[in-house]
Amino acid sequence: MALPEGFLPYYKAWEERIGAFIEFAGEKDGEFPSSLPFAVKDNIAARGFSLSCASKLLERFRSPYTATAVRKLQAWGAAVIGKTNMDEFGMGSSTDASALKRTNNPWDQSRVAGGSSGGSAAAVAAGLAPFALGSDTGGSVRQPAAFCGVVGLKPTYGAVSRYGLVAYASSLETIGVLADTTARCRSVFAVIRGKDPLDQTTADAPAEAAPLDVTGGITGGKKGVIGVLSAQIATLEEETRRGFEAAQANLAALGYTLIDVELPSLKYGVPAYYTIATAEASANLARFDSIRYGARPDWSENPDDLIDKAREAGFGPEVKLRILLGTFVLRAGFQDRYYLRAQRIRSGIRRNFEEILGDSDYAPGSPAPRCDAILMPVFPTRAFGRGEAALSPFAQKAADLYTCCANLAGLPALSFPASVEGGLPVGVQLLGRAFSEGTLLAIAESYEAAHPFPHPAGYRSFWN
Ligand code: GLN
């Protein structure tokens, strides 16, 4: 088995322009171990490959073991083609917070690919891999997927093992799938999901949950009810609003019933997300002390000085900011004010979703869900530019409002390209009840059948 004929020059021409990969293993055309390659975000372990998290601190670290999700894909016959660029430790929305390189959007190289799984999204959008793994803590699979015009699935919390994923905010994050088509996304998710003895938070889908292989509709061919978050979209840029409206019109034309829904807690999502995410990050990143992991300074006075120097030189500014924020919200005597309040908001958001979608435990006799899925924007803008055209770090965080709620509630969410507006793709997302990935994929697949997903100029498909 080998990579397809002509792929290597195609890869080189694209990669020069978009910079999706931190490491690439497909150089030796003709010797690649599989005809189904996949790319892996550089915070997910694959033995022998880089595991830099796009940080100076781990720049030369190579993984001694393989993540469960990667291992399952290898057992299925796929092979890792390379490790992709990202915002350092998954903290960001552009991939420009990578300490190692810059990734550009395949649709317009002056713009970002989104983040933090920007390298994975750009690689798939340019046809350099049929699918890629990413991680989604607050939107990092769905937002770059939307910016680059590919499918991005953030699974139910615990549906996919996190063993081998470098932890950023453990209670929020999942490994997710970026793919060229909905069908591919479904097959990959079917392979990587499931209970894993190496991750105690994993679970198999309950028997009552929607099966993964429903096609053409929702259940028994019946088109379902989609709740649309139409009143709470004040922040959308004009083109993104047009894409969101196109998605509604197209879904209605396909026979879905659209009703308006509201999420009263949506506006508290971002502050709660950044409180919880930074608190967990400050604890998770404490392990990078240059003793167990990380680049060491040339000299130091004593062990404390060694750790100080290594962290000062190794972490970029966004990572330092978040560690500081995390220790701030967790400091003694102030937990009530920030952390515990954020946890209460988190429960409120979960209840908002349960009232619309049904609860997570599928207990018999619980009230029937009002909707099969909720349709929401992914991000207020299309892929943004740099310099003058950039979004400030604060605006980028505020813009996580549509994505971070699925992480706070632990629910699955699927982003797919709805339309192209002004030369750039606009993605929308479907959110569902826990373990309803099958439903979300079925809706997106019926959409894709009627409105095939677009590709950037110069795209060629090497993958069946
Ligand atoms: N933009 C969000 C953040 O910076 C999402 C990151 C992610 O999902 N890893 O935290």
Domains of the chain: residue spans and CATH: 7-267+345-450 (3.90.1300.10), 273-335 (no CATH)
Ligand 1 atom, smallest distance to 140 CA: 8
Q: Catalytic annotation on 140?
A: yes
- End-to-end CA distance of the chain: give it in Å, rounded: 15
List the chain residues with pLDDT less than 70: 29, 215-222
| Ligand 1 in reach of 113 Cβ (< 6 A) | no
Note the helical H segments in 226-380: 238-253, 269-284, 303-314, 317-330, 341-357
Q: Which two tokens stand for residue 292?
A: 């167990």
Pocket test for ligand 1, best of 84, 87, 275, 392 (most atoms within 8 A of CB): 87
* Cα 304 from Cα 272, distance rounded (Å): 33
- Strand 424-431's sheet: what is its strand order? 21-24, 79-84, 37-41, 131-136, 174-179, 151-154, 413-421, 424-431, 373-377, 225-228, 257-260
Rg for the chain (alpha carbons), in Å? 21
Given the residues 50, 93, 94, 116, select the one marked as catalytic.
116
pLDDT of residue 105: 98
Q: Catalytic annotation on 161?
A: no
Average per-residue pLDDT in the chain?
Answer: 95
Among residues 161, 170, 152, the alpha carbon closest in space to that of 204 is found at 161
Name which residue sits closest to atom 10 of ligand 1, judged by CA. 91
pLDDT of residue 215: 64
pLDDT of residue 365: 81
Q: Catalytic annotation on 267?
A: no
| Ligand 1 in reach of 326 Cβ (< 6 A) | no
pLDDT of residue 219: 56
Pocket test for ligand 1, best of 91, 173, 397 (most atoms within 8 A of CB): 91
pLDDT of residue 216: 56
| Ligand 1 in reach of 138 Cβ (< 6 A) | yes
